[in-house]
Amino acid sequence: PLTPLEIRFRQLGGQAGYAGGFIEHYLLPVLYPQNLTRPVQVVLGTLVLILNAATYRRLWRRRTSGNV
């Protein structure tokens, strides 16, 4: 609800407004950068899976050894 107010204040301050909402303007470029190609996505996804598997393995070993 604050996006139209922010855009208006930007225009009053001499800056350009932007189309769309807050999420489209600020968050999507962070989550999905323009240079995020398919190979980079695959590498990042693989790293996340490896990190996740390592974390679960560590937790599983702690639980089975009795060191909670």
Model pTM greater than 0.85? no
Q: If we measure between CA atoms, which residue out of 43, 51, 47, 1 comes closest to residue 22?
A: 1
Contact 3, 21 (CB under 8 A): yes
pLDDT in tens, 56-68: 999 999 888 876 5
pLDDT in tens, 22-56: 888 889 889 888 888 899 989 999 999 999 999 99
Number of structural domains found in the chain: 1
| Residue range(s) defining the domain that contains residue 48 | 4-65
